[in-house]
């Protein structure tokens, strides 16, 4: 479990594609400082398991499902990535509950600078848009953000100077692909209501 508060921007230092998988090596001095084999680290919002450590780099395996659901397959050596270690039980939940299970991808449609912020519009599939609510939470490339406006095929977020400077979101061009994870609580509630509405019984006593 993560919070969507990026700890550092790392870098892809090696990328090897297989037929249905990939192996990444990522440089991240902070997240590797206390990492162990088997730990979970969020890479651009994707929860990945550390398979080996070498100095300030770590290796991860990326399976076909993850490649299909996220933009990790489009990374290259030198690509910057947002990194976050799994939240400690004694830590503060600074963002929101983030699983690191990407629901799909979106595309940067526009960027509008403001006085001390930037409004970014993200296009997404309608099946993901249905889970968004204004002032609700969304994770973009591992960054916990508040939804400003929701439309059937897009939504907007406001990026403060800290987010622009300390995550990869500050440099994303229009047209860039981003990983999206909708709020897990909203997703479960919506799915439950859908099942009740279609007559799919769940447990005795459900109304």
The CATH code that applies to domain 104-192 is: 2.40.30.20
Top-confidence residue, 90 or 110: 110
| Integer CA distances (angstroms), 84 to 11, 132, 172, in order | 13, 23, 19
CATH architecture type of domain 8-85: Beta Barrel (2.40)
Calpha distance 41→195 (Å, rounded) = 33
How is residue 116 written in tokens?
Answer: 């001390």
Q: What is the pLDDT of residues 108-154, one digit of tens each?
A: 999 999 888 999 999 999 999 999 999 999 999 999 999 999 999 99
Closest of 15, 46, 41 to residue 30, by C-alpha = 41
Q: Where are the domains of the chain?
A: 8-85, 104-192
Q: List, in sequence order, every beta strand (DSSP E) within 18-132.
A: 21-27, 40-43, 46-54, 57-63, 80-85, 104-113, 118-123
Q: What is the pLDDT of residues 159-205, one digit of tens each?
A: 999 999 999 999 999 999 999 999 988 888 888 888 887 776 555 55
| Integer CA distances (angstroms), 182 to 32, 33, 47, 104, 154, in order | 27, 30, 14, 9, 13
Q: What is the dihedral of CA 143, 124, 79, 64, to 10 degrees?
A: 100
Calpha distance 167→7 (Å, rounded) = 9
How is residue 199 written in tokens?
Answer: 């007559």
């Amino acid at each position: 479990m993560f919070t969507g508060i990026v700890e550092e921007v790392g870098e892809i230092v090696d990328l090897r594609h297989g037929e249905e998988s990939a192996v990444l090596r990522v440089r991240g001095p902070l997240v590797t400082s206390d990492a162990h084999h088997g730990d979970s680290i969020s890479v651009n919002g994707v929860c990945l398991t550390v398979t080996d450590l070498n100095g300030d780099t770590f290796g991860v395996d990326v399976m076909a499902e993850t490649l299909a659901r996220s933009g990790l397959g489009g990374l290259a050596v030198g690509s910057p990535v947002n990194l976050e270690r799994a939240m400690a039980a004694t830590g503060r939940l600074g963002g929101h509950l983030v699983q690191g299970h990407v629901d799909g991808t979106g595309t940067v449609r526009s960027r509008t600078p403001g006085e001390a912020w930037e409004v970014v519009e993200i296009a997404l599939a309608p099946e993901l848009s249905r889970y968004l609510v204004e002032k609700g939470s969304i994770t973009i490339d591992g960054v916990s953000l508040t939804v400003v406006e929701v439309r059937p095929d897009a939504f907007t977020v406001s990026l403060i100077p800290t987010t622009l400077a300390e995550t990869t979101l500050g440099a994303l061009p229009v047209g860039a692909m981003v990983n999206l994870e909708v709020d897990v609580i909203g997703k479960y509630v919506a799915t439950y209501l859908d099942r009740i509405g279609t007559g799919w019984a769940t447990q005795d006593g459900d109304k």
